[in-house]
């Protein structure tokens, strides 16, 4: 082969290698963008439901339950599949759904060391019936509106809501017992 032929072959190989590198870089970037779009879609979908997104890390928060005991970020960070239930004192659906959510949470407990946490937002007198029903199975925090630090930390904007935490991270969330029965993800590895 002549020098020109070898130069042409070498040039073709360099061009092919460059094209392959560009194709691989583009494929990697498309994959990264696909992951970002999926995360953004999940986040927006969670916002639309008034629930925190799966994988959301709850920021440190402190409250006092009705027994006078503190509920801290360390309690939440150390929890393993801890249900946190949110009710509003003015919510009629909360009263309807409470027995079903209680039964689901208790069925899920399997000897859990930590009692579920219930957060009732709103006027204490209006929510007295919810508080009374929840004290038998859970630690209860009452947040008088407009100060609702626990509810805000969890990004809950719709009631009722149940959020399951493991290590301070949301594993699943829903508004009804039916939502939670369907949305149980596999955590086996």
**Number of domains present in the structure of the chain:** 2
Q: Are residues 143 and 90 in the same domain?
A: yes
Q: Is residue 156 part of a domain?
A: yes
What's the pLDDT at 183?
46
What's the pLDDT at 78?
87
Q: Are residues 144 and 170 in the same domain?
A: yes
What's the pLDDT at 74?
87
Q: What is the rounded CA–CA span in Å between residue 130 and residue 98?
A: 8
Angle 180-135-87 (CA atoms, 0-180°, nearest 5)?
Answer: 45
Q: What is the rounded CA–CA span in Å between residue 82 and residue 40?
A: 26
Q: Are residues 152 and 84 in the same domain?
A: yes
Q: Are residues 1 and 81 in the same domain?
A: no
Q: What is the rounded CA–CA span in Å between residue 53 and residue 45?
A: 8
Quote the domain boundaries for residue 102.
Answer: 63-182
Averages of pLDDT over runs of 10 residues in the chain (189 residues) are 83 88 89 75 61 92 93 88 94 94 84 83 92 94 85 93 94 88 44
Residue in the block written with tokens 């009705």: 66
Q: Are residues 94 and 45 in the same domain?
A: no
What's the pLDDT at 186?
37
What's the pLDDT at 73?
87
CATH number at residue 79: 3.40.30.10
């Amino acid at each position: 082969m002549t020098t020109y032929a070898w130069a042409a072959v070498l040039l073709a190989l360099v061009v092919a290698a460059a094209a392959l590198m560009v194709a691989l870089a583009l494929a990697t970037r498309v994959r990264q963008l696909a992951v970002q779009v999926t995360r953004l879609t999940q986040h927006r979908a969670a916002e639309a439901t008034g629930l925190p997104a799966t994988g959301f890390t709850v920021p440190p928060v402190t409250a006092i339950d009705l027994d006078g005991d503190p509920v801290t970020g360390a309690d939440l960070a150390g929890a393993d599949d801890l249900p946190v239930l949110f009710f509003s004192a003015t919510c009629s659906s909360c009263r309807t759904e409470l027995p079903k959510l209680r039964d689901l949470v208790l069925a899920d407990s399997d000897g859990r060391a930590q009692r579920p946490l219930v957060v009732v937002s709103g006027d204490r007198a209006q929510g007295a019936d919810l508080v009374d029903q929840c004290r038998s199975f859970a630690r209860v925090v009452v947040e008088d509106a407009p100060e609702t630090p626990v509810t805000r930390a969890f990004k809950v904007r719709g009631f009722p809501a149940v959020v399951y935490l493991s290590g301070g991270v949301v594993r699943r969330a829903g508004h009804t017992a039916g939502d939670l029965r369907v949305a149980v993800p596999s955590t086996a590895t």
